[in-house]
Amino acid sequence: MSFRTAGPFHPLILDDVRGAQKMLSGVARLTPMEGSRYLSRLVGSPVHFKCENLQRTGSFKLRGAYVRISGLRPEERAAGVVAASAGNHAQGVALASSLLGVRSTVFMPVGAPLPKVAATRDYGAEVRLQGHVVDETLAAAQEYARDTGAVFIHPFDHPDIIAGQGTVGLEILEQCPEVRTIVVGVGGGGLVAGVAVAVKALRPDVKVIGVQAEGAAAYPPSLAAGRPMSIETPTTMADGIKVGRPGDVPYAVVEELVDEVRTVSEDALSSALLLCLERAKLVVEPAGASPVAALLSDPGAFKGPVVAVLSGGNVDPLLMQRILRHGMAAAGRYLSLRLRLPDRPGVLATLLGVLSTADANVLDVGHVRTDPRLGLTEVEVELHLETKGPEHCTEVGAALREAGYHVIG
């Protein structure tokens, strides 16, 4: 099945998304909706999570990939498909192709996380590692398509992809009919465009709000200019939404139907991921946590009930470790200090005693004796502490000053 050709302003209609929903029956999971008491108190009205991090392959990407590949003609299927991705789209294309009996080749950057590479192979794709950035990987995949005749499956810039992602919106209206605001992470725009097509057709009163990382926010300047604009070197921990230019097809929908596109900081992203893990017991990648970051950053701006789409949960364990530490620091629960002490026996033990009395948990201690800024009898000590929050950080600092210590950083 293939949907109608995109027009300049209304690329898709509700029937396209409903057709995709029928196609995905028995393929994509009806992912659960979970309430968040913490965010509900913060926002002042009910907040629910649409848990696409629990979808097959760990993200919503299977939906669009399956619909797109299902719509290929027999001769196109016979030629196989090719995609370029650092993770979620790769896995969605790999599984969709396997389910449909289509050969798939997926190009991934050389530095792609090993768990994502392994998962893509396990879903049945031939993986080729090429390029050090996604643009190089994308170019390699498109060259492969030209050379072999394989069909290139774009991650967001195609009506079939958007229609498949739009089924998330239909499910939200079924699971939470009282919803007033839906918050969605935005990279190229396929998911938020699909959700907007479905939701605005059935419930035009519901606000659809997109969220981008501050360092990879191509939509605000594009919407201001009235056309898709590129940004140079997008930078964010949220690799799932690190896209330098909106897709032409989703841009037309976003411009017409999405109420607002907000941006969030890296601190907000890491704090949101930590909240999902601790409070909701959900593993969510930074891109998937971006709607939660928006709610944390400006809770009074969202009319409830609110549904935040947790779009994916594929996060590299090593990256997770770094993000959690960053999130703890942003939440005031991880404190780094540097102090200069006399270099003699017992001084460090005395310092640790002060920290113990202040109920700070010492995670790591580092000594520097060779810095030219230090005196002959001085040592610089770097401490990494686990604390209970911003107020406790203030209390720890006060306890150190009261004991006569001078914190230099």
Bridging pattern class, strands 126-129 and 104-108: parallel
Return the active site residues.
61, 311
Q: For residues 36 and 280, give the distance between their C-alpha atoms in angstroms, rounded to a whole number.
A: 7
Which residues have C-beta within 8 Å of that of residue 119, sequence separation ≥ 6?
Answer: 57, 91, 314
Q: For residue 115, is pLDDT > 90?
A: no
Q: For residues 291 and 260, give the distance between their C-alpha atoms in angstroms, rounded to a whole number.
A: 13
Three-class SS of the chain: CCCCCCCCCCCCCHHHHHHHHHHCCCCCCCCCEEECHHHHHHHCCCEEEEEHHHCHHHECHHHHHHHHHHCCCHHHHHHCEEEECCCHHHHHHHHHHHHHCCCEEEEECCCCCHHHHHHHHHCCCEEEECCCCHHHHHHHHHHHHHHHCCEECCCCCCHHHHHHHHHHHHHHHHHCCCCCEEEEECCCCHHHHHHHHHHHHHCCCCEEEEEEEHHHCCHHHHHHHCCCCCCCCCCCCCHHHCCCCCCHHHHHHHHHHCCEEEEECHHHHHHHHHHHHHHCCCCCCCCCCHHHHHHHHCHHHCCCCEEEEECECCCCHHHHHHHHHHHHHHCCCEEEEEEEEECCCCHHHHHHHHHHHCCCEEEEEEEECCCCCCCCCEEEEEEEEECCCHHHHHHHHHHHHHCCCCECC
Q: For residues 290 and 278, give the distance between their C-alpha atoms in angstroms, rounded to a whole number.
A: 16
> What confidence score (pLDDT) does residue 11 get?
66
Q: Which residues of 315-353 are buried (b: 16+ CB within 10 A; e: fewer)?
A: bbeeeeeebbbbbbbbbbbbbebebbbebeeeebeebee
Q: What is the pLDDT of residues 15-34, one digit of tens each?
A: 999 999 999 999 999 999 99
Q: For residue 69, is pLDDT > 90?
A: yes
> What confidence score (pLDDT) does residue 1 get?
35
Q: What is the mean pLDDT of the chain?
A: 89
Q: What is the pLDDT of residues 158-206, one digit of tens each?
A: 999 999 999 999 999 999 999 999 999 999 999 999 999 999 999 999 9
> What confidence score (pLDDT) does residue 56 get?
96
Q: For residue 63, is pLDDT > 50?
A: yes
- Any idea which of 109-123, 318-332, 354-368 has the lowest mean pLDDT? 318-332
Q: For residue 9, is pLDDT > 70?
A: no
Q: Which of 126, 85, 122 is nearest to 103 (CA)?
A: 126
β-bridge mates for residue 365, sequence order: 383
- 233 against 35, higher pLDDT: 35
CA 230: distance to chain centroid?
20
Q: Are the CB atoms for 46 and 198 separated by under 8 Å?
A: no
Q: How many CA atoms lie within 13 A of 322 on its CB side?
A: 8
- Any idea which of 111-115, 163-167, 178-182, 207-211 has the lowest mean pLDDT? 111-115
Q: For residues 407 and 83, give the distance between their C-alpha atoms in angstroms, rounded to a whole number.
A: 52
